[in-house]
């Protein structure tokens, strides 16, 4: 049995998500016997009469299907309605998992007969049903395309400890969309009693990674030295994004850092709407670093801001990746869209400064990051956090690094992870189930690329792409605490309004 997903149309936003999930997929060849060639089919386009009949037959005889609502009306003769989806959330498990909150803030079409995954009004948005011997999931239209959304909003970032800190981040929680798509496809495989196979998210059999970002804006030489000593003393690989204007006189210091990566933050601490201004600002910062014999590979923009002209300026200055939580946070690496090929490396968007503003003490700050790390391990998301030298929280850093070392996370720089993820994106493989044994084929043999297999029993195994190594894996369960209230979390408060006003006033002065 082929363990391959067939999809009806090649679309950028679908490719982004399916590459993130890491499944074996291909555009459907309508000449094929669909049931024998595809374990699951995704309908992401309108179909002709003949194609519709083939899809119906595929489902009737036992196929598994995932379809967007817009394209399901003519196939299954259902009705849909337009609704505004602020967020999606369920207290109950969805397909055997608890899901993180999915922020959308967009109009979508949903099946009138939805029965799963509630919106902000407690109304279901997803339809799941049997048709003949097969199983069907219908998801909202205009849902998957949200992975290319570039809107920004100040949001509360959930905290188990106390008041949730806030930050200006991507309005759409793109990582949560990826999680939902993954568990939906996994469910459809399991309904056919088939294992669900995907590329593992980390090099080799590592259970997770740890990447540590430092934005150096306005940090003093002493603050930078103390943070560097803390990082080196705890065997951590830092990725330093250097603000070059205020540190130009002693920029050479960064060239002496051992086992660290030096990237560019900016020259002037601003992101502009103008492509030319962004390009010149990055170019000037590059020139400062190059005088110290530093050739940066990546950028993290001031304030975590992002726009398409900035991304184009990053690309045209020769950088290989970028990291802005205004585009994506708490997610897997991805490109923005077909016009912006720069790889985004998302981080958790909260640093000590935001926690300090929410009146956290040192112990609460430490516990906050321990919870973030545990959440990310449970979700198999990369553990990537960030800080500033000015925050001067060296003792808390040490405690966090000790926890990371105890958890045995694979320590890596942003550039190393970007290079590995790009390699992962190039992997094309096929998988099949023959006599109850999984067989995989790939033209590329790379011992750093592994596969994750989730069996219908929910047992999880990691297997090298070559198939000669296999280990069992136990993952903790992701779950919000019982007090989690999405409506309160997504209420825009007067304090958040004041923070936004202060943010814009501060920007104008720079």
- Does 311 reside within a domain? yes
Classify residue 249: in a domain, yes or no.
yes
Q: What is the model's pLDDT at position 149? A: 94
Answer yes or no: is 500 within a domain: no
Here the CATH number for the domain that contains residue 363 is 3.20.20.370
Q: Which domain holds residue 323?
A: 209-421
Tell me the CA distances in angstroms from 63 to 9, 52, 66, 135, 262, one per residue in order: 18, 14, 10, 7, 50
- Residue of 309, 340, 311, 308 lying closest to 323 (CA atoms): 311
What is the mean pLDDT for each group of 10 consecutive residues in the chain (510 residues)? 95 96 96 93 96 96 97 94 97 95 98 96 97 97 95 96 94 98 98 97 97 96 97 96 95 95 96 96 97 96 94 95 97 85 95 94 97 97 97 96 97 98 94 89 89 96 88 93 93 94 85
> What interhelical angle do 69-76 and 49-60 show, nearest 10?
80
pLDDT of residue 508: 79
**Secondary structure of the chain: what % helix, strand, coil (to 5)?**
35, 25, 40
What span, in angstroms and rounded, lies between the C-alpha atoms of 381 and 179?
10
Asked if residue 376 is part of any domain, the answer here is yes
Among the listed residues 484, 183, 165, the one whose alpha carbon sits nearest the alpha carbon of residue 348? 165
Q: Whole-angstrom Cα distance, residue 255 to residue 245?
A: 16
Q: How buried is 211 (Cβ within 10 angstroms: 0-12 exposed, 13-18 middle, 19+ buried)?
A: buried
Six-digit token string for 337: 């869209």
Q: Is there a domain that residue 12 lies in?
A: no
pLDDT on residue 4: 96
| Helix and strand numbers, DSSP H then E, in the chain | 14, 26
Kindly report the pTM of this predicted structure: 0.96
With CA atoms as reference, report the closest residue to 117 among 102, 131, 106, 129.
Answer: 102
Question: CB neighbours of 332 closer than 8 A, spacing ≥ 6?
Answer: 20, 175, 178, 201, 346, 381, 382, 421
Strands (E), 90-122: 102-111, 116-119
State the total domains in the chain. Answer: 1
Phi, psi of 93 (to 5 degrees): -65, 145
Whole-angstrom Cα distance, residue 94 to residue 313? 41
Question: Is residue 303 domain-resident?
Answer: yes
- Indicate if the alpha-carbon torsion angle 329, 330, 333, 335 is positive or negative: negative
* Model pLDDT for residues 256-297, shown as the tens digit of each residue: 999 999 999 999 999 999 999 999 999 999 999 999 999 999
Distance of alpha carbon 348 from alpha carbon 330, whole angstroms: 5
The answer to whether position 337 is within a domain reads yes
On whether residue 184 sits in a domain, the answer given is no
- pLDDT, position 61: 96
């Amino acid at each position: 049995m082929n363990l391959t997903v067939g999809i009806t149309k090649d679309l950028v936003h679908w490719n982004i998500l399916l590459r993130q999930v890491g499944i074996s997929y291909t555009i459907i060849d309508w000449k094929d016997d669909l049931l024998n060639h595809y374990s699951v089919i995704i309908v992401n386009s309108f179909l002709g009469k003949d194609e519709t009949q083939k899809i119906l037959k595929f489902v009737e005889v036992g196929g598994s299907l995932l379809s967007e609502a817009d394209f399901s009306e003519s196939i299954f003769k259902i009705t849909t309605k337009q609704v505004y989806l602020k967020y999606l959330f369920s207290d109950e498990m969805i397909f055997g998992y608890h899901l993180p909150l999915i922020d959308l803030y967009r109009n979508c079409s949903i099946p009138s007969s939805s029965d799963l995954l509630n919106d902000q009004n407690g109304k279901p948005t997803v339809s799941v049903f049997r048709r003949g011997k097969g199983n069907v999931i219908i998801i909202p239209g205009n849902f998957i395309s949200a992975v290319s959304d570039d809107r920004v909003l100040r949001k509360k970032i959930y905290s188990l400890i106390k008041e949730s800190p806030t930050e200006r981040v991507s309005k759409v929680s793109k990582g949560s969309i990826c999680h939902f798509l993954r568990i939906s496809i996994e469910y459809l495989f399991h309904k056919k009693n088939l294992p669900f196979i995907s590329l593992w998210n980390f090099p080799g059999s590592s259970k997770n990674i740890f990447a540590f970002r430092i934005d150096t804006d306005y940090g003093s030489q002493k603050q930078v030295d103390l943070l560097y000593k803390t990082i080196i003393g705890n065997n951590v690989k830092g990725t330093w994004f250097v603000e070059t204007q205020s540190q130009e006189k002693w920029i050479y210091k960064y060239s002496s850092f051992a086992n660290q990566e030096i990237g560019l933050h900016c020259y002037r601490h601003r992101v502009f709407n103008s492509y030319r201004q962004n390009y010149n600002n990055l170019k000037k910062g590059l020139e400062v670093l190059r005088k110290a014999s530093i050739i940066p590979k990546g950028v993290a923009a001031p304030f975590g801001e992002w726009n398409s002209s900035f991304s184009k300026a990053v690309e045209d200055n020769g950088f290989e990746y970028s990291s802005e939580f205004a585009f994506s946070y708490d997610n897997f690496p991805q490109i923005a869209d077909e016009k912006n090929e720069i790889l985004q490396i998302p981080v958790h968007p909260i640093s000590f400064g935001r926690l300090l503003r929410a009146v956290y003490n040192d112990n609460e700050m430490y516990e906050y990051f321990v919870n973030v790390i545990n959440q990310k391990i449970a979700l198999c998301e990369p553990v990537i956090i960030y800080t500033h030298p000015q925050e001067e929280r060296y003792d808390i850093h040490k405690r966090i690094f000790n926890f990371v070392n105890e958890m045995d996370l694979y320590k890596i720089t942003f550039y190393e992870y970007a290079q590995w993820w790009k390699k992962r994106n190039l992997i094309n493989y096929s998988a099949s189930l023959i006599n109850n044994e999984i067989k995989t084929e790939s033209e590329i043999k790379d011992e750093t690329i592994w596969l994750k297999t989730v069996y219908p029993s929910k047992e999880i195994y990691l297997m090298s792409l070559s198939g000669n190594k296999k280990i069992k894996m136990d993952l903790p369960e992701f779950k919000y605490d019982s007090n989690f209230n999405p409506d309160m979390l997504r209420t825009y408060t007067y304090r958040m309004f004041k923070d936004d006003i202060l943010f814009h006033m501060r920007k104008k002065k720079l």
